[in-house]
Amino acid sequence: MLKGAESHSMQAPTHKQIELYLKIGIALASAGLIVLCFLLVREYRHVRQLDYVAAHGSLFEALRAKGPIGASDASSTQAWMTFDYINHLFALPPQYLETALAITDSRYPRLTIQEYAEDAHLDRTAFLAQAQGAIRTYFSNKQ
């Protein structure tokens, strides 16, 4: 009796079983692609909202310009940039913008200008202008 049960469980899958497994695999792969497309569209909208794509043009132009990046390039600062990135880009002391803009958020410097402005209930454009002004001030005081 055990011999019969063992031989039955060791049988190769039938054509119908293989066809069923293929259909399930294709359905799962299709569902995965749909989810990936949804996530891609969502991320694309988020990037567009942050003006990331438009910002790269002016930023890359500033980086390619002759000479070091300085006060004249402050206008290339965008809301999607983190304070850490801005500090690095302009070679600012790590705590300079935190002090100059009176930032008290514990996530500094690992948050974007937009995130900080939203969390602090500030106008994003006005706060971005303040950050750009602080960068210019740093360079004018440095000379």
Q: What is the pTM of this model?
A: 0.55
pLDDT in tens, 70-87: 888 888 899 999 999 999
Query: pLDDT category, 44, cuts 50, 70, 90?
Result: confident
Q: State residue 45's pLDDT score.
A: 77
Alpha helices in 1-143 (DSSP H): 2-9, 15-49, 52-64, 83-89, 96-100, 113-119, 124-142
Residue 142 binned pLDDT confidence (cut-offs 50, 70, 90) = confident
